[in-house]
């Protein structure tokens, strides 16, 4: 007699009763507390089970492989030097003292369920250095993920206080994501980090109703005079990492 495979049954709202089993396909609806099939987990943004978290490419995306920096979605700014080559956007602050630079978007983008994300391949880690990912929205509101002094923080652009902060772990915090979070009758703005761009861990939340649109900036800089401030390197802005279930969706 063939062995009996045990499955775990769940009932989904508005769906027929079904059973999870390791043989079921990816993309099943879920919540963060649902059990997914063996080897899969629930993506907190898109609410589906997958062995790699699904990824829907947002309106702004950049592989940093076309030469001109920040195009076609944004413009460069600041005293730091920006160079795009080999699939990376490199930012080197000037050595003269406090300064930064990067790319600012030219237009607002929809802030959908998948949010916006970027691979921070090499942040500035020297004393005085900082690397950040900013989302601004009207009226004069913002949220940003920033690395400074060995700490990854979720805060706002104009306020030094943080909603959340954790010691920086480079391998585990290579990807950063900001997204709206609506569940259990509440609405906040969530920030997360990932080591592979697929499985996300929470950094923290910013209270408030998520905006319909945001305008993003990626940046790096230094607060001090430093003859060698280092170079930050961004890759894959809004570009799904290889192997994601819904790459390019």
Q: How confident is the model at residue 70 (pLDDT cuts 50, 70, 90)?
A: very high
The predicted pLDDT at position 5 comes to: 36
Domain residue spans in the chain? 74-235
Write out pLDDT tens, residues 154-176.
Answer: 999 987 779 999 999 999 999 99
Burial class of residue 99 in the structure, from the number of CB atoms within 10 Å of its CB (0-12 exposed, 13-18 middle, 19+ buried): middle
Class of the domain covering 74-235: mainly beta
132-136: average pLDDT: 98
C-alpha span between 144 and 146 (Å, rounded) = 6
Residues in a beta bridge with 77: 102
């Amino acid at each position: 007699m063939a062995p009996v495979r045990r499955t775990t049954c769940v009932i989904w709202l508005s769906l027929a009763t079904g059973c999870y089993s390791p043989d079921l396909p990816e993309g099943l609806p879920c919540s963060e507390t649902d059990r997914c099939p063996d080897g899969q987990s629930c993506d907190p943004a898109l609410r589906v089970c997958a062995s790699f978290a699904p990824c829907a490419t947002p309106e702004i995306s950049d592989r940093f492989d076309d030469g001109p920096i920040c195009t076609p979605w944004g413009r460069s700014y600041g005293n730091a030097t920006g160079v795009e080559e080999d699939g990376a956007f490199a930012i080197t602050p000037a050595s003269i003292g406090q300064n930064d630079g990067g790319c600012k978007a030219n237009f607002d983008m929809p802030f959908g369920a998948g949010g916006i994300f970027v691979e921070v391949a090499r942040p500035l880690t020297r004393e005085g250095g900082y690397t950040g990912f900013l989302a601004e929205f009207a009226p004069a509101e913002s949220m940003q993920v920033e690395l400074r002094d060995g700490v990854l923080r979720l805060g706002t652009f104009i306020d030094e206080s943080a909603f959340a902060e954790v010691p920086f772990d480079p391998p585990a915090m290579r990807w950063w994501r900001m997204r709206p979070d609506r569940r259990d009758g509440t609405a906040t703005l969530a920030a997360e980090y990932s080591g592979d761009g697929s499985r996300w861990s929470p950094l923290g939340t910013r209270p408030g109703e998520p905006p319909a649109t945001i305008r993003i900036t990626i940046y790096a800089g230094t607060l001090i005079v430093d003859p060698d401030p280092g170079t930050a390197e961004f890759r894959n802005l809004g570009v799904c990492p290889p192997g994601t279930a819904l790459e390019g969706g």
